[in-house]
């Protein structure tokens, strides 16, 4: 018997839940986002596999998705429905003799001791499907990093094992963007250093990386390329780190007065969430998306923790003043961040 980390990832989760609600959607391209009106400004929350074949993916503007795929079914986001479906799945996972660490609506790490992790993973898949009608992919690893990456090789509805034994064989020749936590921008910067593949990055000098990306992140990227990761799966309940609200405007905001008014309104919505959370905010952030699609975020620490709507609104306006204005605005967002002091730290043990 050995200890394993499994990463359970629900396939096309939001779209799959919508198909369960309306079986007539099965096999059709489904796009979920905003109010479900592709002529409005909003982004894709998720797309079914049938829609992804046409290049429609999460984060794509709905209007762009509509140009690519006008015949798709466009649906509004229904948070309550997805939360309920997610809770059912997590309850199924917890019915097994495992430790479940929820990472979001559609994914969780599972810590298990088993002599055949593949068979165990398939039993999880079968149980989730039988109870909820949802398919999931399962990545098996000897740490969280490898389990998370393994899931991508298992999609859809499959199982894949990635450990120290096959890490180089599976990952060595792949681009650095294949690693968890390294996006396209970082991958491009790594390429400028001559680091194209995972093997290149794993063999890179920590000093060179630190000089380019900083003393913490530079060496960390190399560690990721080596496949190192946390092995501890904790059942400690996930605690939100922030609350936020965003608003996309169907007509661009030209007046600074209008922009300030909308920021205040968003701050009051966030404040209501902060009060409901029962934890005061310690930082306030403002997100501004200028025309045509240029996004900036600013953040400030509050003088003292607070749940006051007026204080949060005043702070948001202070942050707003730190932006260079002059362009029309198509989206605004306000975020309140909580302190980590009241969250019990999880034990961590890293392994290659």
pLDDT per residue as tens digits for the range 38-95? 999 899 999 999 999 999 999 899 999 999 999 999 999 999 999 999 999 999 999 9
Domain 1-165 of CATH type 3.40.50.300: no
Q: Which of 305, 306, 264, 304 is nearest to 286 (CA)?
A: 264
239 confidence band (pLDDT: 50, 70, 90): confident
Q: Where in the chain is the domain with CATH 3.30.70.270?
A: 1-165
Q: Where in the chain is the domain with CATH 1.10.150.20?
A: 172-228
Provide the 3-class DSSP secondary structure of residue 6. Answer: strand
**pLDDT at 345 (0 to 100):** 46
Q: Mean pLDDT throughout 140-160?
A: 97
Q: Where in the chain is the domain with CATH 3.30.1490.100?
A: 242-338
Between 343 and 182, the more confident residue is 182
Q: Mean pLDDT throughout 9-28?
A: 96
Q: Mean pLDDT throughout 293-319?
A: 96
3-state helix, strand, coil in the chain (%, to 5): 40, 25, 35
Q: Which of 330, 68, 69, 350 is nearest to 220 (CA)?
A: 350
Active site residues: 107
**pLDDT at 341 (0 to 100):** 66
CA pair distance 316, 114, nearest whole angstrom = 51
Based on the number of CB atoms within 10 Å of its own CB, is 253 exposed (0-12), middle (13-18) or buried (19 or more)? buried
Q: Mean pLDDT throughout 273-295?
A: 94
Which pTM was predicted?
Answer: 0.81
Percentage of the chain beyond pLDDT 90 is: 90
Domain 172-228 of CATH type 1.10.150.20: yes
Q: Which CATH number fits domain 242-338: 3.30.1490.100, 3.40.50.10440, 3.40.50.720, 3.40.50.300?
A: 3.30.1490.100
187 confidence band (pLDDT: 50, 70, 90): very high
**pLDDT at 98 (0 to 100):** 96
Residue 182 has pLDDT above 70, yes or no: yes
């Amino acid at each position: 018997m050995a200890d394993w980390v499994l990463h359970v990832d629900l396939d096309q989760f939001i779209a799959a839940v919508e198909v369960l609600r309306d079986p007539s959607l099965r096999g059709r391209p489904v796009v979920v986002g905003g109010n479900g009106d592709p002529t409005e400004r909003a982004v894709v929350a998720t797309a079914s596999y049938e829609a992804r074949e046409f290049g429609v993916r999460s984060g794509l503007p709905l209007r762009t998705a509509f140009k690519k795929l006008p015949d798709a079914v466009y649906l509004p986001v229904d948070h309550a429905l997805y939360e309920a479906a997610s809770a059912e799945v997590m309850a199924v996972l917890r019915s097994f003799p495992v430790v479940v660490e929820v990472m979001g609506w559609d994914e969780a790490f599972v810590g298990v001791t088993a002599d055949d992790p593949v068979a165990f993973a398939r039993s999880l898949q079968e149980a989730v499907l039988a109870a909820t009608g949802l398919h999931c992919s399962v990545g098996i690893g000897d740490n969280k990093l490898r389990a998370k990456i393994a899931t991508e090789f298992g999609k859809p509805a499959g199982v894949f094992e990635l450990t120290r034994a096959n890490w180089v064989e599976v990952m060595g020749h792949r681009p650095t963007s294949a690693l968890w936590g390294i996006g396209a921008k970082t991958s491009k910067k790594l390429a400028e250093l001559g680091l194209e593949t995972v093997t290149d990055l794993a063999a890179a000098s920590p000093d060179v990386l630190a000089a380019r990306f900083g003393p913490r992140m530079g060496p960390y990227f190399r560690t990721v390329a080596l496949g190192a990761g946390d092995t501890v799966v904790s059942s400690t309940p996930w605690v939100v780190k922030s609350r936020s609200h965003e608003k996309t405007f169907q007509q661009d905001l030209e007046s600074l007065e209008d922009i300030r008014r909308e920021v205040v309104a968003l701050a009051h919505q966030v404040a209501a969430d902060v009060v409901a959370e029962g934890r005061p905010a310690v930082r306030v952030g403002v997100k501004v998306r200028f025309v045509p699609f240029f996004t900036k975020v600013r953040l400030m620490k509050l003088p003292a923790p607070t749940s006051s709507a007026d204080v949060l609104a005043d702070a948001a306006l202070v942050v707003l003043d730190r932006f260079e204005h002059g362009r029309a605005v198509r989206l605004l967002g306000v975020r309140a961040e909580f302190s980590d002091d009241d969250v019990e730290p999880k034990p961590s043990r890293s392994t290659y």
